[in-house]
Amino acid sequence: MCGIVGAVAQRDVAEILVEGLRRLEYRGYDSAGVAVLNNGELSRTRRVGKVQELSSALETQPLFGGTGIAHTRWATHGEPNERNAHPHQSEGDIAVVHNGIIENHNKLRVMLKGLGYTFASDTDTEVICHLVHHELKTHDSLLAAVQVAVKQLEGAYGTVVIDRRDSQRMIVARSGSPLVIGYGLGENFVASDQLALLPVTRSFAFLEEGDVAEVTRREVNIFDVDGNAVEREMKESEVTHDAGDKGEYRHYMLKEIYEQPTAIAHTLEGRIAGGKVLDAAFGENAAEFLKDIKHVQIIACGTSYHAGMAARYWLEGWAGVSCNVEIASEFRYRKSHLFPNSLLVTISQSGETADTLAAMRLAKEMGYKATLTICNAPGSSLVRESDMAYMMKAGVEIGVASTKAFTVQLAGLLMLTTVIGRHNGMSEQVEADITQSLLSMPAKVEQALGLDDAIAELAEDFADKHHALFLGRGDQYPIAMEGALKLKEISYIHAEAYASGELKHGPLALIDADMPVIVVAPNNELLEKLKSNVEEVRARGGLMYVFADVDAEFESDDTMKVIPVPHCDEFMAPLIYTIPLQLLSYHVALIKGTDVDQPRNLAKSVTVE
């Protein structure tokens, strides 16, 4: 999703800003822009398309100046065109970049037009710069003007404001959209994600909700929502991954698929001892929070939602607690019932997913006993605001279509199952079996990656297809959903997933030779039921691709291609069967020639509602 970078330095900052934007490119965006201040001049360059377009424009016509702001936009209000790209300006004096949505922009627009301001874009963002410009007429500093202006905004913003008449500072404000201050030597920075600033600093402080900060070369002064001066803890970044490095791989997505054995090994590291998952894997006071839990409400979006769906089978099946799973954007806007001793679990790769964050805040108001987030981004809003956090340690995920984050989420949720189960009568044997399964996951995932060549060949069959159906049962149903989502996301083939017992209640009507049916078939207690569903498809002339356990006794024939998957136990099966489905979507996308890492219309870290 859109990215912000800002700098106040003695040196020219345009290149630093553009490099920062490059590091945020993976989030998906449609246009990019930069504005810098130099001796009372405000200059701006914006381009539709990739950051490279912006960078080339700056090569031809460089911008000089030590204070500047830059942005990658993922349009919410107004088409993705140059006119709507950020930074936006007011009267050639004020320039603004903004992540988020200003919900009362229409009202403010009418008011500002009444005051004589002319709007140059269709964005909601533009109201911020005119509002600040207007407030500066009656306030004596940019800081004061921004503080008063943001009080009039409804909705969500992470915003940075600069003023042509005062090139020594930028004012940053956060409410609902993350911003981090980066501290340098005689220069300071701001960004929507620390990744953007790693080439220039490793010292960061995260702004909190409602904070407004004044950033100059030598000083950062932060004020809370009530205008009181506050300190926000400065930390050294733990992020080691260089986001710009694809290594030997053609795409980040493929690299991340192949990183899964390591990512899973990292997530287990230091969290299992004496055959048990340590409570502390979920945070310092987790044992105290988790001991009385009788119900779990999981909230997530997209791929993370599928991880939550799988966990429901585990928490109810093995941990002995009831569990609901809901999409965040639904949960937050409906009245739900609070069960006694409920734990709220949010799952979010970025920790900034706007709907998930809002749902968590709502749950806190509702009186959930505790909140836990399963998250990959240290210092993110979900991590900071939840009672407990399971840090995934999957490493930075760049591909918009999530892969390693999903399997690491599954591993984390399986660990949570044992910890909650321990307090709810899970037998020592089951706990030991799950722990053993967790420990052998990295090697098993490695084996599953060995299917890559066979899947690349199979993918040819999908090149001319417009639809696909994914089938699974039990905890493989969410895996089928995730497989369908991956195919949709990166190959733009319409794909649906069904619990295969549902076939006869509707989707069988779709079956014909043009609708490939992908089946996940581990050797579990539902195998015979699944085989009957496979026969239902065969009888209607469907063409099937069955990812089946080597011992599941499926045989390839004219109507069915069987891809043998290494045998694995029931605990890790959802995770293992995810791997061939990821590879399938990747190879189909390659054949179709789509933008694998940045699929059209999509963004990573969805920080708008």
Q: Give the Cα separation of 51 and 20 in Å (integer).
A: 10
2 lies in the binding site for ligand HGA (CB under 6 A): yes
CA-CA distance, 187 to 11, in Å (whole number)? 9
Q: How many residues does the chain have?
A: 609
Torsion of CA 458, 464, 466, 472, to 10 degrees: -10
Q: Which of 23, 46, 73, 393 binds ligand HGA (CB under 6 A)?
A: 73
Task: Say how far apart CA 427 and CA 424 lie, in whole Å.
Answer: 9
Give the DSSP letter of residue 90: E
Q: How far is the CB of 282 from ligand HGA (least distance, A)?
A: 30
In terms of CB distance, is 74 or 305 closer to ligand HGA?
Answer: 74
- Indicate which residue of 393, 444, 486, 604 is catalytic: 604
> What single DSSP character describes residue 263?
H
- Residue from 19, 25, 30, 124 binding ligand HGA (CB under 6 A): 124
Whichever of 90 and 607 has its CB closer to ligand HGA, that residue is 607
Q: How far is the CB of 606 from ligand HGA (least distance, A)?
A: 8
Q: Which CB sits closer to ligand HGA, 101 or 146?
A: 101
H-run or E-run covering 582: helix 573-592
Least Å distance, CB 395 to ligand HGA, is 24
Q: Does residue 608 belong to the site contacting ligand HGA (CB under 6 A)?
A: yes
Q: Are 272 and 439 in contact (CB under 8 A)?
A: yes
Query: Are the C-beta atoms of 124 and 135 separated by less than 8 Å?
Result: no
* Closer of 61 and 118 to ligand HGA (Cβ): 118
Report d(CA 503, CA 511) in Å as an integer: 10
Question: Is 178 a binder of ligand HGA (CB under 6 A)?
Answer: no
For the CB of residue 80, give the shortest distance to ligand HGA in the complex, in Å.
Answer: 9
Among 53, 58, 64, 77, binds ligand HGA (CB under 6 A): 77
Q: How many CB atoms lie under 10 A from the CB of residue 209? A: 16
Q: Which of 55, 47, 53 has the alpha carbon at shortest distance from 20?
A: 55
Size of the site for ligand HGA (CB under 6 A): 17
* Span near ligand HGA by CB under 6 A; candidates 7-15, 119-127, 307-315, 462-470: 119-127
User: Considering 2, 301, 323, 568, which one is annotated as catalytic?
Assistant: 2
Site string for ligand HGA, 367-386 (x = CB under 6 A): --------------------
Pick from 1, 195, 396, 485 the residue near ligand HGA by CB under 6 A.
Answer: 1
Binding characters for ligand HGA, 213-232, by CB under 6 A (x = yes):
--------------------
| Stretch binding ligand HGA (CB under 6 A), from 7-15, 71-79, 197-205, 286-294 | 71-79
For residue 313, the minimal CB distance to ligand HGA (Å) is 34
Residues 6 or more apart from 590 whose CB is under 8 A from it? 459, 596
CB of 29 to ligand HGA, least distance (A): 8
User: Angle 142-151/126-135 helices, nearest 10 degrees?
Assistant: 120
Say how many CA atoms lie within 13 Å of 455 toward its Cβ: 24
Q: Are 397 and 262 in contact (CB under 8 A)?
A: no
Distance CA 194, CA 191 (A): 6
- Check if 568 is active-site: no
Q: Toward ligand HGA, which CB reaches closer, 476 or 607?
A: 607
- Min dist CB 33 to ligand HGA, Å, is 11
Of 32 and 311, which has the nearer Cβ to ligand HGA?
32
What is the spatial distance between Cα 456 and Cα 199, in angstroms, rounded to a whole number? Answer: 37
Instruction: Pick the closer one to ligand HGA by CB: 26 or 554.
Output: 26
Exposed/middle/buried for residue 273 (C-beta within 10 Å: 0-12, 13-18, 19+): exposed
- Residue closer to ligand HGA by CB (options 74, 252) is 74
* Catalytic status, residue 276: no
Alpha-carbon distance values, 386 to 237, 286, 380 (Å): 20, 11, 10
Closest separation in Å from C-beta 596 to ligand HGA = 21
Which residue number, 32 or 254, has a Cβ lying nearer to ligand HGA? 32
Phi, psi of 148, rounded to the nearest 5 degrees = -75, -40
- Residue 201 · residue 182 · CB < 8 Å: yes
72: tokens are 């990658």
Strands (E), 211-300: 212-216, 220-223, 229-230, 235-236, 272-273, 276-277, 295-300
Which residues inside 81-100 make contact with ligand HGA, applying CB under 6 A?
98-100
55 interacts with ligand HGA by CB under 6 A? no
Q: Is 74 in the site for ligand HGA (CB under 6 A)?
A: yes
**Best CA proximity match to 307, nearest among 395, 374, 381, 260:** 374
Q: Which two tokens stand for residue 83?
A: 């006119």
**159 contacts ligand HGA (rule: CB under 6 A):** no
CA 2, CA 521: separation in Å to the nearest integer?
Answer: 39
Does position 444 interact with ligand HGA (CB under 6 A)? The reply is no
Cβ distance to ligand HGA smaller for residue 24 or 319: 24
Is residue 183 within 8 Å of 204, Cβ to Cβ?
yes
Residue with the shortest CB distance to ligand HGA: 2
Which of 13, 48, 101, 546 touches ligand HGA by CB under 6 A? 101
Contacts with ligand HGA, residue ranges (CB under 6 A): 1-2, 73-78, 98-101, 123-125, 607-608
Residues designated catalytic? 2, 604
